[in-house]
Structure 1
Amino acid sequence: MTGKLIDGIAIGKEIREEIKEGVRKLSEKGCQPGLAVILVGDNPASHTYVKNKQKSSVEVGMKSELIQLPTTVSEEELLSHVEQLNEDDSIHGILVQLPLPDHIDENLVIRAIAPEKDVDGFHPENVGKMIIGQQSFLSCTPYGIIKLLERSGVEIRGKHAVIVGRSNIVGKPMGQLLLQRDATVTYCHSKTVNLSNYTKQADILIVAIGRTKFITDEFVKEGAIVIDVGMNRDENGKLCGDVDFESAKEKASAITPVPGGVGPMTITMLLKNTLQSAEQAFADGRCPQ
């Protein structure tokens, strides 16, 4: 058996069309959703990510603003830019591209973003609300994975989901979102002993461990759904994930490729969060008319 491909490009495109329609309707009421990105330094990967985010936001009709700052920018100056965006009613989503230079406290910067504009879903207030099941902005990659599963017809309720990875951005929120949808969740990580004992029990296996092609078919239960969050380069410089796709697809009933799986969904959900923020601002009378 060869696993069915879960196509993040196609599903992301479908959702973006829905977002585009939402942006059009809101803009017609005089409230154009706006996304601002702060980019510090000259990290090539960060520049690529930001360029893609800007391009995608413009494609769905959003206002896009980029603030580029040098690596030497002071923490105080960066926080000042965040505060200005917090006060700008034409901006509904604020994103500070990570990582930041060592002299800047990332947690301090994340906490400085107004929770109602935290479209990355990283602010402690949004994380706390997410954990107790209240309305909040959800971290974009886990949110995107939930949509991938739902739109691929995967039943989450009652399934055993195993997550390999415990980061604040993917692993931890991923488990909570699955738990809220009635999955039984097991967290694993780099220090887990006999990792395959757990992964082979997974109906839904989500891998975000940051190791190139680490998960082979020996870690996968027959018929499992495999979601690969990794983004690495192999010995030939080719993009690949944390899962050895060629071997794992022989065991999985469905699997995401890298690239073209989870990646497109992350930016898509960022746009969805920004639209949600703008809709709330309009409802609260905080959107300039």
Structure 2
Amino acid sequence: MKLLEGKTLSAEILAALPPRIEAVRARLGRAPALAIINYFADSPSAVYVKRKVAACEKLGLTVKLFSPAPGEGYAAFKALLAKLGADPAIDAIMLERPLPDGFETLETWDALPAAKDVDGLSSLNMGRLFIARKFAEIENGGYFVPCTALAVVRLLKFHNINPAGLNIAVAGRSAVVGRPLAQMLTALDATVTLCHTRTKDTAAVFKTADLVITAVGKAKWLKKEMLPPGMTIIDVGTNFDADNKMCGDADIEDLGQTAAAVSPVPGGVGPVTLACLLEAAVKAAELRPAPAAELPKGGIILT
């Protein structure tokens, strides 16, 4: 079984950023700046927060971590978003999910400033993603898309897996991974079946697929009896098993004798997602309007 590791790709993406960071520093007089909002220190996604902070500091990005208490309420959350959105010293905002109960609303996605929304959750960025017909529009559109979904596409490309013409089953319909990923794969000319908790026979869908991507958030949920021999699996899950060790949705030990290839957890999609986030933070700074001193007389800034 081949392991579709993501550490090499992550390193390549990060290695391309220093010249871009220096160009931002020369133009804006400071490094790109990322604000991370994380409510739950014990959530699976929070495992990556320390890694994000460390990676930013290593590259020379400014990073600010905000850890509000859920009890502060929704009004305080909206005020923090507004403050960060108006702060000229902040280029990018990353919302770590899950958010407190009742926070993940249309009002929130409308309030998230699209120009700083580097995980593509705002109504404007998500809408742009879903009206794109081809992946080139997504890559070159000057907006942001969910980093994890983008990381899956880039990992496939890195390992020479072309989605065009493939029947791909995606398990999980979240707004962060499943649905945006299905849209990206469709833009790459794949035929996508999106499975979820109401799918009658998920295993039957998997057994007719050319590629399976799982993002359900259940430790070692995907077993060999659910798949045909020789399947390629991209595992997006971040979970902890009974021994409190990080694992994915796929049971790699169980699949070892039958699967052709699988992305490991940790070390697969996760490192690429982190690199895509930092790349997006740099992009957000690059897209910032020039300081007033650089504008031509009578120039117009579109925001």
Normalised TM-score (structure 1): 0.89
Does 2:169 correspond to 1:177?
A: no
Asked if the contact 1:46–1:98 (Cα under 8 Å) also holds between the matched residues in 2, the reply is yes
Secondary structure of 2:185 counterpart: helix
Query: Match for residue 123 of structure 1?
Result: 122
Asked if the contact 2:32–2:62 (Cα under 8 Å) also holds between the matched residues in 1, the reply is yes
Return the alpha-carbon distance in structure 2 between the equivalents of residues 38 and 204 of structure 1.
Answer: 34
Query: Match for residue 88 of structure 1?
Result: 87
Render the CA deviation track for 1:229-265: whole Å, top value 9, x for unaligned. Answer: 1122222222221111123243333211111111112
Query: Match for residue 246 of structure 1?
Result: 253
Query: Match for residue 147 of structure 1?
Result: 154
Query: Match for residue 26 of structure 1?
Result: 24
Which residue among 1, 13, 16 is the counterpart of 2:14?
Answer: 16
Change (3 A) 1:287 1:59: farther
Corresponding letter in the other structure for 1:145 = V
Asked if the contact 1:90–1:287 (Cα under 8 Å) also holds between the matched residues in 2, the reply is no
Moved over 6 A (4+): none
Q: Which moved more, 1:167-176 or 1:188-197?
A: 188-197
Q: How does 1:271-282 map to 2 (within 5 A)?
A: 271-281=278-288
Q: Which moved more, 1:131-140 or 1:248-257?
A: 248-257
Return the alpha-carbon distance in structure 2 between the equivalents of residues 14 and 74 of structure 1.
Answer: 40
Corresponding letter in the other structure for 2:190 = A
Query: CA shift at 1:287, angstroms?
Result: 8.9
Normalised TM-score (structure 2): 0.86
Query: CA shift at 1:48, angstroms?
Result: 3.9
Secondary structure of 1:115 counterpart: coil
Q: How does 1:1-289 map to 2 (within 5 A)?
A: 3-29=1-27, 30=29, 32-40=31-39, 43=42, 48-102=47-101, 104=103, 106-133=105-132, 134=137, 135=141, 136-281=143-288, 284-285=289-290
Return the alpha-carbon distance in structure 1 between the equivalents of residues 119 and 238 of structure 2.
Answer: 19
Asked if the contact 1:31–1:287 (Cα under 8 Å) also holds between the matched residues in 2, the reply is no
Query: CA shift at 1:20, angstroms?
Result: 3.0
Query: CA shift at 1:106, angstroms?
Result: 4.9
Query: CA shift at 1:220, angstroms?
Result: 2.4
Corresponding letter in the other structure for 1:20 = P
Return the alpha-carbon distance in structure 2 between the equivalents of residues 7 and 39 of structure 1.
Answer: 27
Q: Percent identity, aligned pairs only? A: 32
Return the alpha-carbon distance in structure 1 between the equivalents of residues 49 and 293 of structure 2.
Answer: 26
Corresponding letter in the other structure for 1:121 = G
Change (3 A) 1:41 1:187: closer
Return the alpha-carbon distance in structure 1 between the equivalents of residues 17 and 38 of structure 2.
Answer: 25
Q: CA RMSD in A?
A: 2.3
Return the alpha-carbon distance in structure 1 between the equivalents of residues 275 and 61 of structure 2.
Answer: 13
Return the alpha-carbon distance in structure 2 between the equivalents of residues 248 and 62 of structure 1.
Answer: 40
Return the alpha-carbon distance in structure 2 between the equivalents of residues 237 and 5 of structure 1.
Answer: 22
Query: CA shift at 1:186, angstroms?
Result: 0.9
